[in-house]
Amino acid sequence: MLRVADKLWGGARHLHGDPKAETHQEAVYIPFDKTEYIADDQAWGVFAADGLPIEAAIYRRGDPAQRVSGGRAFDGSSLDRADPEFNYVYLGPSMQHYGHFITATMARCWYPFRHSPKRTKYVIHSEDEIDRLFSYSYAATCFQRLGLRRDNV
């Protein structure tokens, strides 16, 4: 059950209206290195085809916001291509801890709530395999209400 947050640790900005949704062609998804803590592995993230991080996809935390992902450029010319029949929407990192799930994961899930385009796959960074992620009752409930399923994430 969600409750009203009456305490704030760190900073917050209240935005009026939906955030901007950017479109990028030839974006590259680099997964977590599961042997490292995510804050110590700055290679993960979403990057443009030239290997530079896409600013809107960078995961930040703390106050002032510090970059956690997308810290290194790379050559992505030899990487596999995703299925071109789908559009892909990046939803950021999905964290196991309930509070981090609400603030880090759900904060980016406004797009599937407002739009439900057909032929769309949702891309996340997760420390868990998809089945385990959907096994958490809070995640399963939130994802279900947003139309996110194991087969489209």
The per-residue DSSP string of 4-43 comes to: ------S---PPSSPPP----SS-EEE---TTS-TTT-TT
Structure-model confidence comparison of residues 7 and 77, the more confident one: 7
Q: What are the extents of the domains in the chain?
A: 26-81, 83-153
Whole-model pTM over 0.85: no
Residue type, 46: V
pLDDT at 107: 82
Q: What is the mean pLDDT of residues 42-55?
A: 85
For Cα atoms 22, 24, 26, give the angle at the middle one, nearest 5 degrees.
165
Instruction: Give the torsion through C-alpha atoms of 138, 141, 145, 149, to 10 deg.
Output: 100
For Cα atoms 19, 91, 11, give the angle at the middle one, nearest 5 degrees.
55
**Model confidence over 117-140: pLDDT tens digits?**
788 899 999 888 899 999 999 999
pLDDT at 1: 62
pLDDT at 77: 67
In this predicted structure, the answer to whether residue 76 has a pLDDT above a threshold of 70 is no
Compute the mean pLDDT over every residue in the chain, rounded to the nearest whole number. Answer: 83
Range among 33-47, 92-106, 132-146 rated most confident: 132-146
